[in-house]
Structure 1
Amino acid sequence: MSDDQPDTESDDELDELVHRADLDGLVRLIDARCSGRDWAGLLHLRDRSRHAVLTGRQLWPAATLAEYRLALWAPTEWAARVLDEDSGRFTIGPLTEVVAQHHSFAELRPLLPDGPRAGFVAHERVLRGEQVDATGLVDVLDLPFALQPWEPAYPLATYGDDGIDAPAPARPGRDRFVVVEGEVRPALTEDDGDEVVAAVRQLLEPWTASSNGRAEVVCVEGTGADALATLGIVQPRVAPIDAADALAWLAWAG
């Protein structure tokens, strides 16, 4: 079924819920079809709910939930059908990440169109330890489709029916934190200064854009303590971490 054409397949229970714009009923039906492994019925529900939006019924939450459940739990041939560019706009996580939790890229690749989403799925599977054949893939992140020996074990998000668990990397022990003092320095705003600030902000943008958190960044000539002092943080407690841990934290924040 195309996105601009209604699905005329008979489904009395679904038809009634869509007609009434009954979101609670649709959520219960999604649960029932997942429990019964009725993936065709779940995709049908997604399509009907998506089309209902065009008629003024605000059923996009049902369409979004159905897509999420298909990507998470459905067999590969059904999960791949919600990885098109029009799906997953309001899900709790990118469907390319959700689908990678239980599906291998080797199984998904023959079912995916060439394009950025296949590249994103490949990267997600690489993080989960799969060796990916990168031939013909779009390199959307400008990163190799393989983990490098010096990379850490990245904390991975875990998706379930009730949401997402995205654990942070392990914090250093309390005994490793010390109070440091720095000097306020002039912020660099030319040459490399602006580029560094922009790079850090872009790295953290997925977090700041989807929460009420904020990122304050400054580039100075001096120490890390000097940079913190320039941001107005007096006598912070800091702990040293190695490059692998720093990379894990940056990946988690972004």
Structure 2
Amino acid sequence: MPNWSFSNINISLKVLFSSYLILVGIGYMMAFTQILFTHGMADGKIGLSIDDIVYSYYGNRNGSVIENKLNGSMKENASEEDRFKIIKWARDGADEQQFNATIKPIFENNCLACHNADMGLPDFSTYESVKHVSETDSGASFASLTRVSHIHLFGIAFIFMFVGLIFSFSTGVPLWLKASAIAMPYVSQVLDIASWWLTKFDPAFAWLVMFGGIGMAIAFAFMWVVSMYEMWIKKHT
């Protein structure tokens, strides 16, 4: 059986492994940044908090979806006057005639670049779609959770299969720690996604989302640093 270690691979494989790790490292940072600008603004404040997670999955049931978005992650996309008009319209019952006369022009000027039929977001060019998001905010829909869950399960599995495969060439950590680090992202991902669904029913489970994300980040950082260190810095005898 061959001895798989970084000391036994050639420079070409090291370059290949390192290039992959660098790209997925940048991708991981971009994903974290995207979370800060979406879920992290759900409560209208910068930074990811338990309230952000609760509002994203369970919802903020004190107001409508559109009101909470306009006071949160979408706050900078419209003037205070326009936001007030939309929120008041939603609270007053989301009348269709008033929508066509007053609210639709605001969406056309501020929102339709992203919220249209081609972008996969709610289409704010139609009254029916806007009326739907003017209802009580109950968080992520079951259809949305199903779609995002299967994308994450497939995508994360492939990413960590290759990160774990590269890390398996390391020799500077005990076998139990190596095996634990390789398994941890998969356990954390199952915990993370399961907690989305649990939080949808009970906001008390929002803490599990944090634990799942932190566990995955720690495992990724550990395997990344150890692999890069042993490939390029550690002296092999």
TM-score (norm 2): 0.21
Q: Which has the higher contact order (CA 8 A, sep 6+)?
A: 2
Give the TM-score, by structure 1 length.
Answer: 0.20
